[in-house]
Structure 1
Amino acid sequence: MKRYIRLTIFLIAFTGVVTSAQVDLTREKCREMALEYSRQIKLSKNRKEQALLDKKIATAAHLPNFSASGLYFYKPDALEYSLDGGPLPTYQPDQNGELQPNVMVNPQTGEPVMGSDGNPVFNMYAMMPDMNLNLGLEGVTSAGIQLEQPVYMGGKIRTANKMAETGIEVADINMELKTSEIIAETDEAYFQYISVKAKKQAAKDYKVLLDSLVASIEASVQEGMATRNDLLKAQVKKNEAILMVQKANSGLQLARMNLCRIIGLPFETEIAINEQLSDGNSKTIQAENSSIELRPEYQMLTKAIEMGSYEEKMARSEMLPKIGISAGYNYFGGLEINGQGTEEMAFSAMASVKIPVFKWFEERNKVTKAKLQTEAAKMKLEETEKLLQLEIAQAQFNMEDAKKRLELTQSALDQAEENLETSRDRYEAGMERLVDLLQAQAQWQEAKSNKIDAQTSVKLMYTKYLKATGKLTKL
């Protein structure tokens, strides 16, 4: 019993250790985990595999087709047929040795004598007896192999191969598009977590200032150097700081859960990120000459136009002749005629040509439809080009605005820190009111929070700029 209790305690303790273990994360690790976990990426990989199979299927159409066939037929009762006999006309050789009908000729007219039935009358007839046929079908078998090779299919096979190759390229582009979207989403969640974590620390620092101020005022009240009203004002601000810390902690938990959702970890997983927000190389982040041709969206639309041209060729191929050849070797046996069996093995070859003549304009309508689809793809590309250019310009402006905001918030924070230090000195010297010191502390906390938002914005705007220019997955 004691051993059982000890084992239970050990398992509970071990489970507690496992569930409380933290996962160390970096931005690169988060990206890798998000890409590995993302269902969109898995779906894109599935489409890529399908495209590769389409290519193999299209390639196989060039190759000859081998097939084998076999047949077994059993009928217990034989088939019996009777052929009536009767007179048969005769023939005789002429001077050249060729057989000519042995008809009766009228010596006066030199014309053949015609019977009452309208047929010529022969000088001599041969009598054919009645004939009975018995076909035995007990175990008729046939087997053979066949080789078929398409020679010309109106360009359909070649076009299908090009379409399959383009399909693989589209699958790769779609993979890149989904990858950039996942990376952008991951970066946003990652820096959001760091931002909330920094705000939580700023709220704690603000609370520490107020704790120190409240303690100082309480001592002053006891000595009669401060009023009860001053203490209440400071305590109100302290309570606000406590609530601020609580909200920051709740926000941090939500940010952690959101990041875990994206990278595929359970919501209750504790994470550890050592990266801190900093100005870093924000001044060196510059917009580069960018082209919309790097955007996956643009590339997919150009491939759509290319696929449209192939659809036209496929439709036209249905209007062209088709040529093929085939050869086979076959065995046939088991058929009996009047008790005598037959067995035969033979080689056969065939060439076929199929020329479409008229199908009520079906192929022509298909060609026209394919042309309209290609024109629609071109118009969509023209419209999307302007939207992508606008998106790049907007991302560039947002990045520049974020950098400028960071400079201004840093300046505001420096001023708030200087003002807080001056206000604290003046308050301690009795030259400033408590309300002014509380306001200076609140201004410092607000400036600190704004600085954190600005630092986060620079990081996110740079990621969005790279995504807008199609460079996010190429770093």
Structure 2
Amino acid sequence: MKQTIVALAFLLLALPGVRAQSPRSITLEEAVKLGIDNSKQLRQSKNKIDEALARLDQAKDLRLPSAKVSFQYLHALMLARTLNFPGLTQPGKPLSLSFDFPAYLGTLAISEPIFNGNQFKYARQSADLLLQLSKLDADKDKDDVTYLVISAYINYNKILQNQLIVGRNMQDVDQKLTEITKYESQGLATRNDVLRFQLQKSQIELSEIELENDRKDANYDLNIILGLPDSTQLTVSNFDYKLQEQPVFTDLLTQADANRRELQELAFQDKVADINIKKIQDGKLPTLAATAGMYYINPTGKPIPTDHTVLAPITLGVGVSWNIGSLYTTKNKVAEAAAQKQEIVTSKDQAQDDIRKDVHKAYLGYLQSLDKIRVLQVAVDQAEENERITESKFQNNLANTTDRIDAQTQLYQSRVNLELAKSDAAIAYYTMIKSTGNIHL
């Protein structure tokens, strides 16, 4: 019976999907690529670009000639059945018409614009600029997705590193608990000393439970962002905290002026405003178009007419139209468009000020994070030395259990603080890079 159970257990472990899934190691570069490839936000951005491309094609179509064709069957009842045509009918001999008068009527009309005050050109330029704006929005969305992935990745790495520190602390406490229990059996330590270490171990176990719950939550969120199966267990590989960077503030400002999407977008909007003003001004000009038409008139009521019973005149011509009222109504429209352009210029100045403040804040945040790490590294060194001295004193009965636990707790907390500061520095670095409008790894 035991052999059968063992055999079944091995068989179950060998089946696909039953085996425990091994953790997947992933680098930051791989995570960013996955996040971009599977981002629903970027798919929406692509849809907007396709929509702008369609509008550009529509603007190009305005140059094509327009053509309309129609065909009707008419059935008229003639209330007056005689008709005199001066010069065509003889006096006293009017044209007789039947009471029931069916007829077929068809038309074909073609119009080709010759001059339209550059309206077609401006429509195409506007559509092209809107396409460029859509691409800018897509680039900004890509930067946002990249930053989101980086932040989620660093947050997950922060939890993993804290778990390592807690694990090391647990090993130290287990070792010391074994030691103090041995001392108690030899009469060298009290029961209260043992209880203190047991309490410390329980507190660390609570921290492990909380961290594992946080890890699962962060792992799940990261899987969703990267488009991975929910059950994927992730581990971080070769992560660089970016602690050796030496940014120059003026260089960051130069990059921001060249790369920030807000400024590029306002520049395009300014061009669109210029085109709009020209388009309004050209509205005062007349339009000229060549026209051609063909008519099919069959008054016999028969689908296939006999000879000399069908009229099929063809017309050729040139049409001119001019909205004279635009000569005195355009002025106010131009004034409105000019005010809108000035509003864009003011918005650009305001955006430049906001960007400078944004870059400066991010720059100071990164420098501050580096200063914190230097201070916390000294604190870790001091805590390690304090723990070593306290341990030596404890072994020589010069320190009590409380001193020993306090020293170890301070060392544990200082290591956690240092690890948190490193992760915060990495976030601060990428926040600074994002503020320049050119986030990169």
228 and 418 in structure 1: CA distance in 2 versus 1, 3 angstrom threshold: same
- Are 1:42 and 2:4 counterparts? no
Name stretches of at least 5 consecutive residues in structure 1 with no aligned partner.
Answer: 1-5, 89-126
Which deviates more, 154-163 or 321-330?
321-330
Which deviates more, 324-333 or 300-309?
324-333
Q: Secondary structure at the match of 2:310?
A: strand
For the Cα contact (< 8 Å) 1:22–1:269, is it kept in 2? no
Which deviates more, 339-348 or 387-396?
339-348
**1:199 CA drift (Å):** 0.3
Which residue matches 2:4? Answer: none
349 and 278 in structure 1: CA distance in 2 versus 1, 3 angstrom threshold: closer
- Are 1:227 and 2:194 counterparts? no
Task: Kindly provide the amino acid, as one letter, of the partner of residue 73 in structure 1.
Answer: Y
| Deviations, residues 53-107 of structure 1 (Å, cap 9, x unaligned) | 1111111112223x25242324275675435799x9xxxxxxxxxxxxxxxxxxx
Which residue matches 2:425? Answer: 458
130 and 277 in structure 1: CA distance in 2 versus 1, 3 angstrom threshold: closer
Q: Secondary structure at the match of 2:63?
A: coil
Instruction: State the number of aligned residues.
Output: 421
Q: 2:286 aligns with which of 296, 311, 321?
A: 321
- Are 1:249 and 2:207 counterparts? no
Identity value in percent:
18
Aligned equivalents of 1:234, 1:208: Cα separation in 2: 12
For the Cα contact (< 8 Å) 2:105–2:295, is it kept in 1? no
Aligned equivalents of 2:85, 2:226: Cα separation in 1: 93
Aligned equivalents of 1:11, 1:153: Cα separation in 2: 77
For the Cα contact (< 8 Å) 2:12–2:18, is it kept in 1? no
Q: Secondary structure at the match of 2:18?
A: helix
Which residue matches 2:5? Answer: none
Which residue matches 2:176? Answer: 213
Aligned equivalents of 2:260, 2:131: Cα separation in 1: 17
Which residue matches 1:53? Answer: 54
| Deviations, residues 364-384 of structure 1 (Å, cap 9, x unaligned) | 443333222222222222111
| Deviations, residues 208-267 of structure 1 (Å, cap 9, x unaligned) | 11111111111101101112222222222222111121221122112112212322345x
426 and 51 in structure 1: CA distance in 2 versus 1, 3 angstrom threshold: same
Aligned equivalents of 1:277, 1:228: Cα separation in 2: 45
For the Cα contact (< 8 Å) 2:284–2:327, is it kept in 1? no
RMSD: 3.0
Which deviates more, 31-40 or 196-205?
31-40
Task: Kindly provide the amino acid, as one letter, of the partner of residue 18 in structure 2.
Answer: G
Which residue matches 2:276? Answer: 311
Aligned equivalents of 1:85, 1:302: Cα separation in 2: 68
Q: 1:424 aligns with which of 388, 391, 416?
A: 391
TM-score, with length taken from structure 1: 0.80
Aligned equivalents of 1:269, 1:228: Cα separation in 2: 45
Which structure's CA Rg is the greater one? 1
**1:428 CA drift (Å):** 1.9
- Are 1:237 and 2:204 counterparts? no
Which residue matches 2:244? Answer: 283
Which residue matches 2:233? Answer: 271
Aligned equivalents of 1:48, 1:459: Cα separation in 2: 33
Aligned equivalents of 1:255, 1:162: Cα separation in 2: 47
Which residue matches 1:440? Answer: 407
74 and 353 in structure 1: CA distance in 2 versus 1, 3 angstrom threshold: closer
Aligned equivalents of 1:41, 1:348: Cα separation in 2: 53
**1:452 CA drift (Å):** 0.8
Task: Kindly provide the amino acid, as one letter, of the partner of residue 140 in structure 1.
Answer: Y
Aligned equivalents of 1:329, 1:11: Cα separation in 2: 82
Which residue matches 1:72? Answer: 72
Which residue matches 1:63? Answer: 64
TM-score, with length taken from structure 2: 0.86
Q: Secondary structure at the match of 1:348?
A: strand
306 and 76 in structure 1: CA distance in 2 versus 1, 3 angstrom threshold: closer
1:293-308 superposed matches below 5 A: 293-308=258-273
Q: Secondary structure at the match of 1:342?
A: coil
Specify which structure has the higher proportion of strand.
1
Which residue matches 1:107? Answer: none
172 and 192 in structure 1: CA distance in 2 versus 1, 3 angstrom threshold: same
Aligned equivalents of 1:429, 1:10: Cα separation in 2: 56
42 and 278 in structure 1: CA distance in 2 versus 1, 3 angstrom threshold: closer
Name stretches of at least 5 consecutive residues in structure 2 with no aligned partner.
Answer: 1-7
